[in-house]
Amino acid sequence: MAKEVNKRRTFAIISHPDAGKTTITEQLLLFGGVVRKAGTVKAKKSGSFAKSDWMEIEKKRGISVTSSVMQFNYQGKRINILDTPGHEDFSEDTYRTLMAVDSAVMVIDSAKGIEPQTKKLFQVCRMRGIPIFTFMNKLDRDGRSPLDLINELEEVLKIDAYAMNWPIGMGKGLKGIYDLYNQRIELYRKEDHEETFLKLDQTGKLAEDHPLKEESIYRQVLEEIELLKLAGNQLDPQRVAAGEMTPVFFGSALTNFGVKTFLDAYLQFAPAPGSHQLVDGQSISAVNPEFSGFIFKIQANMNPNHRDRIAFVRICSGKFERGMDVYLKRTGKKIRLANSTQFMADTRETVEKAVAGDIIGLYDTGNFQIGDTIYTGKQALQFEKLPQFTPELFVKVSAKNVMKQKSFHKGIKQLVQEGAVQLYQSYSTGDYILGAVGQLQFEVFQFRMKNEYHSDVIMTSMGHKIARWINPEQLDEKMSSSRNLLVKDRQGLPLFLFENEFSERWFKDKYPHVALTAKL
Ligand code: GDP
């Protein structure tokens, strides 16, 4: 089993929308032999989540969502790529996904440098201390100077950077990359041409005669490389493993240039599954023979023809076999895992066996919640809590057609379990209230309610609110006033939705003994 676990490389690609995540994913799948033609994944793109895109995806559902986990074999390794929605309104989903990976690839548009979403996602990876690899994309276009990009990584993200390779020109003048790591020059070529590598001699210059030697850009790059060797960081695999240093690769995903070079080097540095933290401060090693895992994502109606609901499990230790019994920590119940699936780029297949590092999908009839731990063996386990966000935007929601309450309730229940939005109920009126981090979440909710549950919903915006939980024992319903709304969450726990900071402060002044908390 340890041998199998050590073959696993499980990672996510993080980037700001449009940096090229989908394009590079597709190239990786090409190398894995999973898709045969570029453009296959593109059509199924589930990342960008403009509302119109999302509806498009909806039509192609079942395919689109298989791309949320992609698995393939490459050079003796088994690779799991987890997709993350790019739009910031879905950052909660993305953050949870990042809890399920062992490393991350950060794709940056070399003309734009670090953008807001890259920075946020980077910080989550940083917090987890996982290795981060950087791909500076779109070298076939004129972008910023490589030195400038490297400096920005160090200054803005506060991470040491080590250039694994260096562009020789860019845009129309792109000649290739100077590959420090492999001691060679890789010539730029049209997408459908073979790679050409030129050897470097001991001093780092071209070993043989080549027209490139006469180009001024070649001489300039040699100077830059000298400078890097003198003033830059040394490659330190331990610091890479600790997430303190990021190896940087340059390339162009669109023309499939430098992507294979990146992947090959990446696989040498990217970690196999390690250990996972438990709530009690202990940890579980990936090669522990007992099975354990946690649910980081739930998705309903992945295939509209089957009306199914899938719970995505990251296996943290041991091995999974279809039909095995596990314990669900939250309820203490024993559950048989009979219906499981794994994901390739455009198919789903039943999975019989999987090991730590793999992601499996369990067909779920309502047993699981996001954050659940499942395990075998005598010792009850609970993995660390997944990050949660306090919603900031709220809407009142009701069914347009009062005769159709049943589908309304079913839809809300399932979508809330998915973690798509949060649900609250007003103490005084019983109204349903939804909370989200971003507006787009509501729009997708409304769209899915109609499409998947045939329920037209009316949403009335309540605007921004500050959500603060209160100890139920300290609650007195009289504390509710016109400036705050008393609601209960899905677990029945009370919280106030304050209009603004002023009304929260006013409340605190009035009830100094009452403790308010931002998150549960
Ligand atoms: P995502 O939003 O990060 O998934 O980005 P996409 O992969 O969809 O890429 C966004 C746009 O950038 C698309 O029009 C791509 O064709 C384009 N693109 C991606 N990689 C490259 C590249 O290496 N060079 C150029 N010129 N365009 C690229």
Determine if ligand 1 sits within 6 Å of the CB of residue 21. yes
CA distances from 26 to 6, 18, 188, 190 (A): 24, 14, 20, 17
Structural element, H or E, at residue 56: helix 51-59
Are β-strands 359-363 and 432-436 bridged in parallel, bridged antiparallel, or unpaired?
unpaired
- The count of other CB atoms within 10 Å of the CB of residue 216 is 8
Mutate to test the pocket of ligand 1, among 254, 255, 256 (most ligand atoms within 8 A of CB): 254
Rounded mean pLDDT, 475-485: 90
How far is ligand 1, taken at its centre, from the CA of residue 20, in Å? Answer: 4
Could you report the per-residue pLDDT of 269-300, keeping only the tens digit for each? 999 999 999 999 999 999 999 999 999 988 87
DSSP state of 390: -
- Summarize pLDDT for 100-119 with one digit per residue, the tens: 999 999 999 999 999 988 99
Residue 90 clears pLDDT 50, i.e. is over it: yes
Residue 54 — very low, low, confident or very high, per pLDDT cuts 50/70/90? Answer: very low
Distance from residue 138's CA to the centre of ligand 1 (Å): 7
Report which ligand 1 atom has the smallest distance to the Cα of 137.
23
| Rounded Cα distance, 142 and 110, in Å | 8
Protein residue whose Cα sits closest to atom 2 of ligand 1: 18
299 CB neighbour count, 10 Å cutoff: 19
Match 């780092």 to its residue by tokens: 204
* Secondary structure class of 50 (helix, strand, coil): coil
SS (HEC) of 105-170: EEEEECCCCCCHHHHHHHHHHHHHCCCEEEEEECCCCCCCCHHHHHHHHHHHCCCEEEECEEEECC
Which neighbouring-strand residues pair with 120? none
- The CB of 22 under 6 Å from ligand 1? The reply is yes
Distance of CA 47 from the midpoint of ligand 1 (Å): 12
Looking at 364-476, which runs of residues are DSSP E strands?
373-375, 393-399, 422-426, 432-436, 457-464, 466-470
Distance (Å) of CA 429 to CA 275, 344, 425: 48, 47, 8
Provide, for the chain, the percentages of residues in helix, strand and coil under a 3-state DSSP scheme, each rounded to the nearest 5: 30, 30, 40
Q: What is the Cα Rg of the chain in Å?
A: 25
The per-residue pLDDT for 497 is 96
Ligand 1: centre distance to CA 255 (Å): 10
Identify the top-confidence range among 86-95, 329-338, 412-421: 329-338
The mean pLDDT value for 407-421 works out to 88
pLDDT band per the 50, 70, 90 thresholds, residue 257: very high
Question: Could you tell me the domains of the chain?
Answer: 1-60+104-270 (3.40.50.300), 276-375 (3.40.50.300), 393-517 (3.30.70.3280)
Q: For residue 413, report the distance from its CA to the centre of ligand 1, in Å.
A: 37
- Residue (of 341, 402, 331) closest to 373 by Cα position: 331
Q: What interface predicted TM-score (ipTM) does this complex get?
A: 0.99
Task: Check residue 10 and give its pLDDT.
Answer: 97
> Residue 62: pLDDT above 50?
no
Q: What is the pLDDT of residue 448?
A: 85
Query: Are 296 and 310 within 8 A, CB to CB?
Result: no
17-26, 339-348, 409-418, 466-475: least confidently modelled range = 339-348
Q: Which of 106, 150, 153, 147 shows the shortest CA–CA distance to 125?
A: 106
Instruction: Name the token pair of 194.
Output: 């073979």
Strand 103-109: give its sheet, edge to edge: 69-74, 77-82, 8-15, 103-109, 132-137, 245-250, 160-163
Binding site residues for GTP, as ranges?
15-22, 83-87, 137-140
| End-to-end C-alpha distance for the chain, whole angstroms | 38
